Amino acid sequence: MDLTSSMMSVILVGAATIFLAATILLKSLGSYKIRLPSGPRAIPVIGHFHLLFDKTRPIHQILSSLSTRYGPVMHLKFGSCPVLVISSADLAKECFTVNDKAFASKPRLTQGKHLGYNYSMIAWAPYGPYWRMARKVCVHELLSSKRIQSFAPKRMQQLRKAVNSFVSADTASEYC
């Protein structure tokens, strides 16, 4: 993996985290009318996606140029979803250390209600006492060293099965 793809991965993960945090913040404010930071004008249905998918420049350079024009905190729309983009390290640190509880929860999506048994699975549960208890149970019971070692023979069996299927598929393709 070269430097540009790893840097792009880090930027995409950071952008997704900021997107999730901004979505949670804006959804938690509910029906209150808030004054949003400045940002470029959005196209009605697609929002600001047209700005982010430029074939000549990577996304981090696009966001950097937008932040020099609109400031370290700017408002974008991804489709119809409002997003707060923070491009300052100090402000990001404040968001994730001082105000971490405000950004800790996940949005309540319809998938979590139906697939997550009314938000009761750990992946869909909102941050709170139930999520902390479920996480503790998962870490201590499912991801403990003893439990992981108990599944070692099964993992080896599945690994042998996968390797054998790759080898048999490779030999089969030589004769076709």
Q: Residue 153's pLDDT band (boundaries 50, 70, 90)?
A: very high
Q: Residue 174's pLDDT band (boundaries 50, 70, 90)?
A: low
Domain ranges of the chain: 1-104
Of 122, 125, 105, give the one whose Cα is nearest residue 22: 105
The confidence score (pLDDT) of residue 109 equals: 81
The confidence score (pLDDT) of residue 29 equals: 65
The confidence score (pLDDT) of residue 154 equals: 94
The confidence score (pLDDT) of residue 172 equals: 55
Q: Residue 158's pLDDT band (boundaries 50, 70, 90)?
A: very high
Say whether pTM exceeds 0.75.
no
Cα gap 86→76, rounded to integer Å: 11
Question: Integer distance in angstroms from the first to the last C-alpha of the chain?
Answer: 33
Query: pLDDT for 47-82, tens place per residue?
Result: 888 888 877 888 888 888 888 899 899 998 888 788
Please give the average per-residue pLDDT across 106-130, as a whole number: 85
Cα gap 129→28, rounded to integer Å: 18
Question: Which residues make Cβ contacts (< 8 Å) with residue 92, sequence separation at least 6?
Answer: 18, 86
Cα gap 119→126, rounded to integer Å: 7
Query: pLDDT for 9-44, tens place per residue?
Result: 777 777 778 887 777 777 766 655 667 788 888 888
